Chain A
Amino acid sequence: EVLLAQSGAEVKKPGESLTISCKASGYSFTDSWINWVRQVPGKGLEWMGRIDPTDSYSNFSPSFQGHVTISVDKSSGIAYLHWSILEASDTAIYYCARPEREGHLRDWGQGTLVIVSS
């Protein structure tokens, strides 16, 4: 069974940095890209970006390019989403998701709530 286990909720201040994680199990980690999706409370789903665990190639939605980075630890089967400088507008739930071979996102993590507030 595929499982994407995300790290716990975070409360941070504007200007701080943050890394959240997504640990994959139940499949070969390098077989699928890992995607990150944002959901602002009460709002819809926004695709942020993705990474190929094989070579760490990543690409992003223009809305998120330059504001976050994505990385992986291939040996541990963990993907990371990182902010160098958090803003209050980064307050949201962040999901990692894995696509099937055809491209659709079948498997999702449970989500990580990030609150950025002074």
Chain B
Amino acid sequence: EVVMTQSPATLSVSPGERATLSCRASQTISSNLAWFQQKPGQAPRLLIYGTSTRATGVPARFSGSGSGTEFTLTISSLQSEDFAVYYCQHYNNWPGYTFGPGTKLEIK
């Protein structure tokens, strides 16, 4: 079973700066990698799927990249509404879906 890890656990960044979040798979996976944003009291929101495709309505400052076992979510210029917890997820594997433990993006 594929295990997903994320780093760092917490990332402190100032508004307007770039944030880079990492996700690693325990074995080579396909491009079936998604990123979610979750704010307190809310359901997760899909940001990126297929490693690099932005979901409908997601601002262009969010971008995804990677392959093999290493994947990255980049937020080019942080806005106040971007401070949240971010999860990567491998999908279309067996038995189903695997989430990473999350990265909390906080204001520096």
Contact = CB atoms under 8 A, between A and B. Distances in A.
Contacts, number: 64
A60 B98 CA distance: 12
Interface residues of B, number: 24
Contacts of B49: 100, 102, 104, 106
A102 B45 CA distance: 17
Contacts of B97: 35, 37, 47, 105
Contact of A104 (B46, B95, B101, B102): B46
A66 interface: no
Interface of A: 35, 37, 44-47, 49-50, 59-62, 95, 99-100, 102-106, 108-111
B43 A61 contact: no
**Chain A at the B interface: SS class:** strand
Given A44-B102, A104-B46, A61 B91 contact: no
Interface string B89-103: 101100111111110
6 contacts: A45-B36, A45-B89, A47-B99, A102-B32, A103-B92, A105-B91
Interface in B38-88: 38, 43-46, 49-50, 55, 87
B43 A109 contact: yes
A5 B32 CA distance: 27
A103 B102 CA distance: 20
